[in-house]
Amino acid sequence: MSKKVALVLGSGGARGYAHIGVIEELEARGYEIGCIAGCSMGAVIGGIYAAGKLREYREWTESLDYLDVLRLLDVSFRLGAIRGEKVFGKIHEIVGEIDIEQLAIPYTAVATDLTNQQEIWFQEGCLHKAMRASAAIPSLFTPVMQGSRMLVDGGLLNPLPIVPVVSSHCDLVVAVNLNSLNQKHYQLPVIERPAAIKGKIDQLMGSLSTKLSFLRRETDEEEEGELLVESEAPNPWLDNSRVAKAEVDTEASPKSASNSHVIGNVGPASLLELVNQSFETMQTSLAQYKIAGYPPDILINVPKRVCRFFEFHKAPELIQLGRQIAADTLDKYEEEHA
């Protein structure tokens, strides 16, 4: 008989794509997902799954390359780098207009009410608004106003919302933590794609840099031992050579794992990246408290170092990695409980 699972999907920016691979592995093994609680990208993936549109969403995200991601950046001049209307407009197009009460399974999205400084659970009402509020990552997406309340990413208070599912009538609680500092043996898979047209990327990045004046407007490269300074602003959504070098150094020295997003050992490349790196540090600590307070039956840990918060063009790699980690974790659990 298949086991019914209460699924908890944590926050972690672009790493949230790994949730898709986890869900696919659970279903492939015959587990029945009986309810979902999610935060930020976990709320988005969980909501789309509960609405029965995960396949369509996966196909869309896997089709995105560097340029497609840049085109989705509707730059804002208020309380966030991106308004999010293009991204969530596409999600709304995929999912349609649906209330949480109409979903096939119970669903909870967790957001943070900055006005009253409290955690908010969305368990009824418009699914689209719930996902948008839960995923309003500070500094990246603009907040959601609901009356007098300003709502932002639930990860500020609860990046791994286990509590909403502990009273569910399910056999197992499965939690997916996207902020693990362990699992050093996992690497992001390499999936070949057509190269983006560099000239167009540079043109779009020049426009983005002009609008986001807080981005530091210089980047350095080492070429034949000399330091060259260019006028291009570093882009938090795209790879750059300094990040790659930092990640190589991280693998060589495990002690530097917590600095895998630090550029050239001098710090984040922009204020945006600084804020989000601080946000992730806080989430990592909070997630450990949630796990200790309400230990799930199965904990699937996705290492934080495999992907930066902003790298939303890496869906295929992250989905595959999520499925691999889920498979290994479930193998171990099933062997121990055979």
Of residues 67 and 328, more confidently modeled: 328
Please say if the pLDDT value at position 159 is more than 90. Answer: yes
Secondary structure letter of residue 263 according to DSSP: B
- R_g (Cα) of the chain, nearest Å: 20
Per residue in 88-138, pLDDT (tens digit) is 889 999 999 999 999 999 999 999 999 999 999 999 999 999 999 999 887
Nearest of 16, 11, 24 to residue 324 by alpha carbon:
24
Q: What is the pTM of this model?
A: 0.78
pLDDT tens digits, 254-311:
444 434 444 344 566 677 677 778 888 888 899 999 999 999 999 999 999 998 887 8
11, 134, 153, 168: the active-site residue? 153
Residue 203 scores a pLDDT above 60: no
Compute how many other C-beta atoms are within 10 angstroms of the C-beta atom of residue 332: 11
Cα(61)–Cα(312) distance, rounded to whole angstroms? 8
Q: Rounded to an integer, what distance in angstroms lies between the CA atom of residue 129 and that of residue 109?
A: 10
- Give the pLDDT mean for 328-337: 95
Mean pLDDT, the chain, rounded, equals: 79
Of 74 and 202, more confident: 74
Listing DSSP states for 123-134 in one string gives -SSBHHHHHHHH
- Indicate which residue of 11, 40, 134, 139 is catalytic: 40
Distance, in Å, from the CA atom of 276 to the CA atom of 76, rounded to the nearest integer, reads 17
Which residues lie across from 37 on neighbouring strands? 8, 108
d(CA 237, CA 306): 14
The Cα–Cα gap between 237 and 75 comes to 13
Which amino acid type is present at position 274? Answer: L
Helices 41-50, 85-95: inter-axial angle, 10-degree rounding: 20
Whether 40 is a known active-site residue: answer yes
Rounded Cα distance between 280 and 236, Å, is 15
Spell out the residues 6+ positions from residue 338 whose beta carbon is closer than 8 angstroms to its own: none
Least confident of 3-17, 69-83, 145-159: 69-83
For 212-240, the pLDDT digits (tens) are: 444 444 333 333 343 333 334 344 444 44
* Phi, psi for residue 122 in degrees, rounded to 5: -95, 110
pLDDT for the residue 301: 96
Q: Determine the 3-state secondary structure of 190 from DSSP.
A: coil
Burial class (CB in 10 A: 0-12, 13-18, 19+), 126: middle
Give 3's DSSP letter: P
| Phi-psi domain of 216 (left: phi exceeds 0; alpha: psi -120 through 50; beta: other) | beta
| C-alpha 252, offset from chain centre | 26
Give the helix/strand (H/E) hosting 228.
strand 226-230
pLDDT band at 67 (very low <50, low <70, confident <90, very high): confident
